[in-house]
Amino acid sequence: MRVLYEGSIFEMLRCGGVARYFVELINRLPAQTTPIMLGPEEPASGITHPHFQYETVATRPPLKFLRKLWHPAQHGRINQRMRAQQADLVHWTYYQGLCRRPIQRSAVPTVITVYDFIHEAFPDTDPTGKSLTMKARAIDVADHICCISQTTYDELCERFPAAADRASITSLGSGLANVNAAPLPEELRGRPFVLFVGRRGGYKNFDLLWRAWNKMKQATPDLNLVLVGPRMKPREQAALGWSNEDPRTQLYVAADDSLLKTLYQHCNAFVFPSKMEGFGLPVLEAMINGCLVFASSCAALREVAGSAGYFFDPENVDELAELLIAAGNNTITDRDSKIAAGHCRADYFSWENTAAQTIKVYEDLLNRNCVRHAA
């Protein structure tokens, strides 16, 4: 089986997130499979499948101001390159292709993955509507749609009922189980802390955590707040009242997996206040590493954490503040049972399961295609 991955996600994201999903999936394909990726100039890192082939596409114009002309000019060339791979099926890594090329039907089965419906739920994240149009086209074109959670599948069926019989669930996993933890940074040793991981703006709802932190921090003077995520720009610092000199707050920018693992392992609790997710990978990472989880009550996070999570209303500052106080004072009586439940939940959400579910999608599509051609 020759599977062609249209690698546009690696044009947007070099590692982590969706990029990691495809790296982990490809590495677990059967040995008799030939995975091929059509991708940008820098090859995707971390792919170790013995038969993996990487085909480079020129995605950057010689001069930046030529981009609007360069991308359309490349579309025909990329289509030719795709046909030349003689793949049995194509799995697109995002809702559009390299050089912003619209997804197109081809002579072989087409697979897409739908991650979430954030743009639909929060229109301000897509003010031009381009992302909504792009996703709708991808869903219409695809022979099969992989959804990364039951929550995403249910929403797909609600928003695109005609696509329901072309969709299935291929839940995500986490690779942090096999990562060696780095030493805990010196500045955190002997200091209890709660942890937040990810982007902070918009629906990610970090503002709720920040307000809850400021409301309760005097009640637990020994507790610290640790963030992992993008650098904080001056405008964000001013809006939050964030001070780099505050000894009780710490931001780690571009933390690697080994540092992230040790932060999960040593924190009093991991806090994820997002208003909506397609899956919520940090929750799974936290559970794998024996971390207590405080998560918002949105559907995807309830799905992933199950009985292992403590859930709070993503609009309720007081509710989260009470959980933070309990974490800081070590007054959570069922902590051990919650952590044990988290390990059980994490056992199901593995990359091996992701690969097995996706391989079944591929095989079913190819078998159906063979029957259609035989007829």
pLDDT tens-digit series, residues 141-178: 999 999 999 999 999 999 999 999 999 999 999 877 77
Strands 89-92 vs 53-56: parallel, antiparallel or unpaired: unpaired
- Confidence bin at 375 (pLDDT 50/70/90): very low
Q: Residue 99 pLDDT > 50, yes or no?
A: yes
Between 218 and 368, name the one with better pLDDT.
Answer: 218
Q: Which of 72-76, 223-227, 305-309, 328-332 is the least confident region? A: 72-76
Q: Please, which pLDDT band fits residue 371 given cuts at 50, 70 and 90? A: very low
- Give the residue, 251 or 347, on which the prediction is more confident: 251
CATH number of 2-173+351-374: 3.40.50.2000
Locate all alpha helices (DSSP H) within 230-334, ordered by sequence. 234-240, 257-266, 281-288, 299-305, 317-329
Is pLDDT at 281 greater than 70 in this prediction?
Answer: yes
The percentage of the chain sitting over the pLDDT mark of 90, rounded to a whole number, equals: 74
Question: What stretch(es) of the chain map to CATH 3.40.50.2000?
Answer: 2-173+351-374, 176-348
Interaxial angle between packed helices 351-374 and 17-27, expressed in degrees from 0 to 180 and rounded to the nearest 10: 70
Does residue 61 carry a pLDDT above 80?
A: no
Q: Is the pLDDT of residue 372 over 70?
A: no
Out of 173-187, 235-249, 279-293, which region has the weakest mean confidence (pLDDT)?
A: 173-187
**pLDDT band, residue 374 (cuts 50/70/90):** very low
Q: Which pLDDT belongs to residue 306?
A: 94
First-last CA distance in the chain: 21
In sequence order, the 6+-apart residues with CB closer than 8 A to the CB of 174 are: 281, 284, 285, 288, 346, 349, 350, 351
Residue 370 pLDDT grade (very low, low, confident, very high; cuts 50, 70, 90): low
> What is residue 333's predicted lDDT score, i.e. its pLDDT?
85
The band of 14, judged by pLDDT with boundaries at 50, 70 and 90, is low
pLDDT of residue 368: 82
Topology of domain 176-348, per CATH? Answer: Rossmann fold (3.40.50)
- Tell me: pLDDT of 121 over 50: yes
Better-predicted residue by pLDDT, 211 or 125: 211
Residue written as token pair 């707050």: 249
pLDDT (average), residues 350-366:
95
CA 95 to CA 130: how far, in whole Å? Answer: 11
Of 273, 290, 302, 294, residue with least CA distance to 342: 290
Partners of 253 in beta bridges: 229
Average pLDDT of the residues of the chain: 91
Residue 129 above 80 pLDDT? Answer: yes
Residues 295-324: tens digit of each pLDDT: 999 999 999 999 999 999 999 999 999 999
Residue 208 has pLDDT above 80, yes or no: yes
The sign of the CA dihedral 63, 68, 69, 74 is positive
Q: Residue 369: pLDDT band by 50, 70, 90 thresholds?
A: low
Cite the beta strand spans of 7-95 per DSSP E: 34-39, 53-56, 89-92
State the average pLDDT over residues 218-233. Answer: 93
What pLDDT is attached to residue 253? 92
Residue 16 pLDDT class (50, 70, 90 cuts): low
Using pLDDT thresholds of 50, 70 and 90, give the confidence band for residue 113.
very high
**Nearest Cα to Cα of residue 103 among 66, 130, 132, 135:** 135
